[in-house]
Amino acid sequence: MASSAPPLKFPNSLFPSTKKRGELLDLPSITPVGKSWKPSTVVLAGINGHPQINGSGGLRVAFQGAPGAYSEFAAKTACPACTTIPCRAFADAIAAVERGRADRAILPVESTMEGTALRNYDLLLRHDLRIVQEINLFVHYCLLAMPGVRPGELRRVISHPMALAHCGRALSQLGLLREPVEDTAGAVEMLRSNHLLDTAAIASPRAAVLYGLDVLAHGLQDESWNVTRFLLLSKTATRPPQKPAGAGLKTSLVVAHRGGSMMVLLKVLSAFSKRNINLTKLEVINSSNEGEAPVMILDVRGKGSLRAFPHVLYVDFEGSTDESKVKEAIDEISSFSVFVRILGSYVADHNVYDLQ
C-alpha cells in the first residue's frame, strides 16, 4: 500500500545558491517529516551484496531498457551472477527467451504507487512462459545531471513517464519542463551521449555511477514507500522448487470465464477458503463493457491459439501445485470455469531489496 506520510515540504529554494559547482545537493526536506524513506524491512545491497552491472555467469536475463535500468538492477539482485540483455520493449525481452537468446525475462508487474497499471500481466498471458521467481525492489529516484552542471542551469528533465509521474510534486517545485522517454536508463544514456548541459534525468543512484553523472538530489518520489514487484519468466517448465528453510512457496494462476462474474468469484474464494489456502493477490478484470477490449490468453494446452475472455481473475496463493489440497482446489475451480491456466509456482520472497 502507498505510504500515508504527511505531504512533502520543500524549502523556499530547492537548489540553494550556496552550493558549489558539481556539489551534491542536500535536500532533507524531500524526506517526509518524522519518517525515513528507507523502511526497516528493506534488504540493503541485494541478495548477495551489491548487484553487478556486467555479469559473467551462465544465466542470461533479458530486460526492457538500457543498461542501468531498474529492471536490470532487479535482475542482478535476483541473479547476481547473470548476464543481462537489454531490449527495447517488454515484448522483445519475452521474445528473447522464446527464441533462445535468453534464459529468463524480467518484467515489472505492479507497484505500490501504480497498482497493476503496468499491465505486463497481459503480456504474460499471451505467451507460454512460466513464472520462476519474484523480487520486490525499492525504487529510489534521483535527479542526475552532467558533471559540473549547476542546478540553476537546468531547463528540462527527461525520464520514463511513470518516473515523471511518481516525482510530480518535486518536479512542480523545480519548474522544469518534463519530457518523457522510453525508460529511466535511456534518459541517462541520452543525457550522457548528447552532453546535455541544460537537462536533468530521473533515474537510480546506480545509473549515476554507471554513466558518471552527478546526483543533484535524492528521494524525489512523492511517496516514501515506493516498491515495484518484478517477475522472472522462463520458457522451461520446471517442477515447483523445494521449500527453502524459513520460506514458503507461491503459485500464480489465471481463471477466465464468460458470464456470472460475481458467482465465479465467490466459488473461487470458496475453493481456496475451505482448504485453508491463503490468497496473496486477487485481481478482477471485467472487460465486458462496450469499447473495452477482451483479455487475450494463450491456450497452452490446446493448439497454442489466443482466446478472448471478458472476465478474468488473477490469483496468487500460498502453496505449490505439488500439494494435494492445491490440486483439489484447482480441479474444483476448473469444473465451473471456462479456462484455468497455471502461470508458475515459485519461492515467495517477502523481502524488499534496495539499490543503496
Active site residues: 228, 230
Distance CA(323)–CA(345), nearest Å, equals: 11
What's the grid cell of residue 266?
465467490
- Cross-strand pairs, 159: 180
Question: Cell 525499492 sits at which residue?
Answer: 138
Question: Cell 543481462 sits at which residue?
Answer: 84
Distance CA(209)–CA(191), nearest Å, equals: 14
Written as one string, the DSSP assignment of 193-232 is HTT-SSEEEEE-HHHHHHHT-EEEEE---SSS--EEEEEE
Q: Can you say whether residue 28 is alpha, beta or left, with left for phi > 0 and alpha for psi between -120 and 50 degrees?
A: alpha
Residues whose CB is less than 8 angstroms from the CB of residue 256 and which lie 6 or more positions away in sequence, other chains included: 295, 297, 307, 309, 311, 312, 313, 337, 338, 339, 340, 341
What's the grid cell of residue 129?
512462459
Nearest to 100 by CA among 234, 246, 288: 234
- Cross-strand pairs, 250: 318, 346
Residues whose CB is less than 8 angstroms from the CB of residue 345 and which lie 6 or more positions away in sequence, other chains included: 240, 241, 249, 250, 251, 252, 320, 321, 322
Give the rounded distance of the alpha carbon of 32 from its chain centre.
24
